[in-house]
Amino acid sequence: DAGVTQSPTHLIKTRGQQVTLRCSPKSGHDTVSWYQQALGQGPQFIFQYYEEEERQRGNFPDRFSGHQFPNYSSELNVNALLLGDSALYLCASSYNVHEQYFGPGTRLTVT
């Protein structure tokens, strides 16, 4: 079992650009959550997808959007990037339990 995988590992974007991050959940998991972890801080909940729909959303602007595919994989899209969007973006998957498995994250740098 490969666990939760995320791609890319790192990327650098310019202010105003758009970015798409990808996540493949652990085998057997149907729920994907996304978190933003700024340097020196704890992860902040962005949103959660279940059955291809956004089930819950944290306090993030509409520039942050997502999608879940029939195979349960997920994408996080961020439009009109700001310098403050620079962070580690973590994906976590779960299946009807409280235990979330986290991927290694995607490090986004906005210049």
Partner 1 sequence: AQSVTQLGSHVSVSEGALVLLRCNYSSSVPPYLFWYVQYPNQGLQLLLKYTTGATLVKGINGFEAEFKKSETSFHLTKPSAHMSDAAEYFCAVSESRNNDMRFGAGTRLTVKP
* Distance between CA atoms of residues 111 and 54, nearest Å: 29
* Residue 94 binds partner 1, judged by CB under 8 A: yes
Which of 7, 18, 27, 41 touches partner 1 (CB under 8 A)? 41
Nearer to partner 1, 17 or 54 (CB): 54
Residue 90 binds partner 1 (CB under 8 A):
yes
DSSP 85: G
> Binding partner 1 by CB under 8 A: which of 45, 60, 67, 79?
45
Q: Are 27 and 94 in contact (CB under 8 A)?
A: no
Strand partners, 31: 50, 94
As beta bridge partners, residue 57 has 47
Least distance between partner 1 and beta carbon 3 (Å): 9
Using CB under 8 A, which of 21, 26, 34, 43 touches partner 1? 43
Size of the residue set binding partner 1 (CB under 8 A) = 28
The partner residues of 92 in beta bridges, in order of sequence, read 33, 102
| Angstrom distance (rounded) from CA 107 to CA 89 | 6
Chain residues in the site for partner 1 (CB under 8 A): 4, 31, 33, 35, 40-45, 48, 50, 55-56, 58, 90, 92, 94, 96-105
